[in-house]
Amino acid sequence: MDRNKYSIVGIGYTPQGKVPGRSAASFYLEASMNAINDAGLKKDDIDGLILYRDFPILNGDAFHHTGNVITYSLGIRPKFLSQEAYCYRTNINKAIGAIENGTCKYVLIVFAESGRTGRRTWTDEIDLFSSKPYDEYGAYGNISAFTNYAMFASRAMHEHGTGPDLWAEIAVAHRKWANLNPNAIQYSKPLTKEDYMATPFLSWPFRALDATASTDGGRAIIITTTERARQLKNPPIMIRGYGSANDTSKGWQLTPGDPASSAAIAGREAFEMAGLGTKDIGAAQIYDCYTYTVEATLGDYGFFEKEKSRDFMTVENIGPGGAFPVNTGGGLLSEGYYMGLTPICEAVMQISQRCGDRQLGVIPGTKLPEFMIVSDNGGFYQSNETLILERGK
Amino acid sequence: MAQVLKVNLPFDLRTSYDNDLFYKTAHDEHKFILPHCKSCGQYFWPGAFICQHCGSNDVEWKEASGHGKIYSHVEGRFPFHKAIKEHLPIAICSVTLDEGPRVFGRLVNYGEIEKVPYDAPVHVVWLQDDEKGCTIMGFELD
């Protein structure tokens, strides 16, 4: 893949948080149309459509929100249509592949759900997706992603000296960003480290505040060539670096600091393609399903030595006004859970200077980064796509 | 032979054709067996049609020690599903077996979770549910 050959040209948001009376399908359609309008395209221009993973049907929908259901209501007939059955992250790879091989010109990637009011998505999955018993681990009492990530984080406490006091810093930094973002679900809810420490462990060593929460809403992006992007109304947000990798370990088998982790490999590939190093990166939008995921990803990217995460992952460094801004919209933890589209859309928002009170370069002591690193990861830290983005002309 | 504890498990055990013999042998004979590759000599987990290391299909089940070192552990205290509420807290651990594979089990007789040492030697303890007719792996500090 050539450096800066592909760009993100449009992003789509919807109302989010607790939005009763709306189906997941309605958020898919609203986010998609908003991205199409943002790019200045017509819906018929979209010739490739990629959906994040399928979920069981929640309250408010009559069908799985599969590619054909969404494209029918969008009234388009894309040449390329794809949806993961599970949590692997190959969406950008597929989008670019479909353009590179000549099939598509404009590929839309979308995710939406109604998990806040339509019933909790993941619990529903245990009941309906596989029927009881859930899988081999159900009998052991391991039925949540939360438990698997807690296993990964627990070992990192021993391996790298991290722990709840550091994860409190991460949770608070994300919340402070969210407090500057009127779209964030936690916009009006401040959080202190003391608040964090006062909450109970749900699965030791993790608390509820270590995890993202289900939401209602949707998010979409459109990818095309930078050449085509230059004819459109937004400045192209160019993909300067890209990497992807998939680890085969189970969630509970993961090794913190593994030099062959999917984040480490995808990160190395992205830096190599971009011709850049960690010192060139001015900010990061990291897939933060859990607090520790942010620490693990930035550590695997090489932003700090893993034993020294405590010096890097502070509210002062990664929060508003800090030297290395991370998840400037509040992230999955405090803005809203739209899988990898939360970090990608926030990167586009920042680079195109649409961020209002949280805009880098406007907050005193900060500057607009020339290069931003973005991660999306799936499964239990097993699957990773990494982007290094820069503003095009 | 490993100790057997009588328990009530939160869900029935779902196994695959490929890994069924592990649980059947655990339940019927309280023996700890592992998939082993006759071609490259390495153990793996869970059971599969081929060896994950070398790809050979010359694989067998072989009796193993049931000993290893605790890699990581957590203690579930929240009912992510209503069916596990009465079983909480549930401690879960990953164990790097002396034979190589990292396996998964319930941690038992551990005291306070915060004080369980990483890399400490552990051995398998069978957790047998007579009503559900199945047995799973537990681990206890040596």
Domain ranges of chain A: 6-118+215-229, 145-211+240-391
pLDDT at B64: 97
Contact A304, A311 (CB under 8 A): yes
Domain ranges of chain B: 4-141
The whole-number average pLDDT for the span A215-229 is 97
Asked whether the predicted pLDDT for residue A138 surpasses 70, the reply is: yes
Position A121 confidence tier, pLDDT thresholds 50, 70, 90: low
> What is the sign of the dihedral through the CA atoms of B40, B41, B46 and B48?
positive
Question: Looking at chain B, which residue has its C-alpha nearest residue A124?
Answer: B81
For residue A150 the two structure tokens come to: 């807690």
Per-residue pLDDT reduced to its tens digit, B79-138? 888 888 999 999 999 999 999 999 999 999 999 999 999 999 999 999 999 999 999 999
Asked whether the predicted pLDDT for residue A249 surpasses 90, the reply is: no
Contact A133 B11 (CB under 8 A): yes
Neighbours of A389 (CB within 10 A): 26
pLDDT at A93: 96
Contact B104 A203 (CB under 8 A): no
CA distance A6 to B84: 48
Characterise A141 by phi-psi region: left (phi > 0), alpha (psi -120 to 50), beta (else): left
pLDDT at A131: 44
CA distance B126 to chain A (A): 12
The whole-number average pLDDT for the span A189-193 is 98
> What is the sign of the dihedral through the CA atoms of A245, A279, A354 and A168?
positive
Say yes or no: do domains A6-118+215-229 and A145-211+240-391 share a fold. Answer: yes
Give the CA radius of gyration of chain A.
19
Interface pTM (ipTM) of the complex?
Answer: 0.96
CATH code reported for the domain at B4-141: 2.40.50.840
CA distance A337 to chain B (A): 18
Please give, one letter per residue, the 3-state secondary structure of chain B: CCCEEECCCCCCCCCCCCCHHHHHHHHHHCCCEEEEECCCCCECCCCCCCCCCCCCCCEEEEECCCEEEEEEEEEECCCCCHHHHHHCCEEEEEEEECCCCEEEEEECCCCCHHHCCCCCEEEEEEEEECCCCEEEEEEEEC
pLDDT at A190: 98
Residue A6 CA to chain centroid, in angstroms? 19
Q: Which residues of A touch B87 (CB under 8 A)?
A: 141
Q: Domain A145-211+240-391 belongs to what topology?
A: Peroxisomal Thiolase; Chain A, domain 1 (3.40.47)
Per-residue pLDDT reduced to its tens digit, B50-94? 999 999 999 999 999 999 999 999 999 998 888 889 999 999 999
Nearest to A133 among B12, B80, B118 (CB): B12
Per-residue pLDDT reduced to its tens digit, A73-99? 999 999 999 998 888 899 999 999 999
b (16+ CB within 10 A) / e for A329-368: bbbbbbbbbbbbbbbbbbbbbbbbeebeebbbeebeebeb
CA distance A125 to chain B (A): 10
Position A122 confidence tier, pLDDT thresholds 50, 70, 90: low
pLDDT at B58: 98
- Pairing outcome for strands A237-246 and A383-391: antiparallel
Residue A216 CA to chain centroid, in angstroms? 15
Per-residue pLDDT reduced to its tens digit, A13-47? 999 999 999 999 999 999 999 999 999 999 999 99
CATH code reported for the domain at A6-118+215-229: 3.40.47.10
| Mean pLDDT, rounded, of chain A | 93
Question: Looking at chain B, which residue has its C-alpha nearest residue A158?
Answer: B118
Contact B118, A155 (CB under 8 A): yes
- Integer angstrom CA distances of residue A15 from A185, A215, A217: 10, 10, 6
Per-residue pLDDT reduced to its tens digit, A124-134? 656 654 445 66
Contact A209, A344 (CB under 8 A): no
Contact A163, B114 (CB under 8 A): no
